[in-house]
Homo-oligomer: A and B are copies of this chain.
Amino acid sequence: MAVTVVGSVAFDALETPFGKRDKILGGAATHFSVAASFFTDVRVVGVVGDDFGDDEFAVFRSRGINVDDVERVAGGRSFFWRGRYEDDMTVAHTIETQLNVFEHFQPKLSDETRSCDLLFLANIQPDLQRGVREQCNSPKLVGLDSMNLWIDIARESLEQTIRVVDVVVLNDAEVRMFTQEPNLSRAAKRILALGPRALLVKQGPYGACLYTEDSFFSIPAYPLETVFDPTGAGDAFAGGFFGLLDSLETSEFTERDLRAATVCGSVMASFIVEDFGNERLQRLTEDEIGERFREFQQMTVFETPAAAALRS
């Protein structure tokens, strides 16, 4: 029982209406793995420079995350992103991106990592994602995330990668952009027609929804009064989703499992945005996770009223 995630491990500099941080732990694989670690064993495949030290590795190790496949390039510098959020916290303004060692990232998976049960291909170049997929022996479930950049410059490759995964995780703008279809239900059908059995659509402050061939499920976002820093929300969402699924020790992944996992993803996303980077997840407890899961139930439950028009 283990989930492997391949993606960026990085430093971020962030500014939001609520404060700033000059250099904090970031990257999609980081946020995914910390979120997933509350549910199952996690192995990270990534690359960092020698500016990535014991303090950073300690964050992973304190959560029991295996970092044996995080390559450390001597003399190199880690991926660095500087961003700013203004009042509309749904839009990240990129001020600076330094790919550094990430520019030539060639994911290398150890034997243990290849034997993972679940594999998540975080947002990296889609050829690389496919290469990782091929390195894995026989994962029970493979997911991917992507971004507008790859839809723009590597659409064909992304489509090929989508064809070999089970779960696609994208935000609604990416779903529309990839399919060139403004209606989300039609767009979802087109993505599922490529092969995946599930599409998770992240909708920021509106929550998330899960499309499968014959079902639709939707969960709102947790109604936070302060979104401190939205960075990593999508990665924590995916981490909660795949982490929960892996913990179920099934290989069937029923609709019921996928829905529960979608809610776990939303729970983890709702926590990570409560503080900078993954600072909130670093002090999160299982009690808090359980309580918020129950709050999601309370936010969405309703009963059939005794109305004539509904009696039929």
A residues near B, CB below 8 A? Answer: 38-39, 87-89, 182-186, 189, 203, 205-207, 209, 215-220, 223-227, 244, 247-248, 256-257, 259-264, 286-287, 289-291, 293-294, 297-312
Contact = CB atoms under 8 A, between A and B. Distances in A.
Contact of A184 (B223, B263, B301, B302): B223
Given A264-B310, A291-B312, 7 more contacts: A89-B182, A183-B226, A186-B225, A206-B206, A217-B299, A261-B305, A290-B312
A229 to B, nearest CB: 14
Contact of A256 (B87, B182, B262, B303): B303
B206 A88 contact: no
Nearest to A256: B303
A217 B307 contact: no
A310 B297 contact: no
A312 to B, nearest CB: 4
Contacts of A297: 302, 304
B286 A308 contact: yes
A61 to B, nearest CB: 19
Contact of A302 (B220, B224, B226, B259): B259
Contacts of A264: 305, 307, 310
Contact of A87 (B38, B182, B261, B303): B182
Nearest to A259: B302
A180 to B, nearest CB: 10
Contacts of A184: 205, 223
Given A206-B206, A218-B299, A218-B300, A286 B260 contact: no
Contacts of A261: 305
A223 B227 contact: no
A248 B306 contact: yes
Nearest to A246: B307
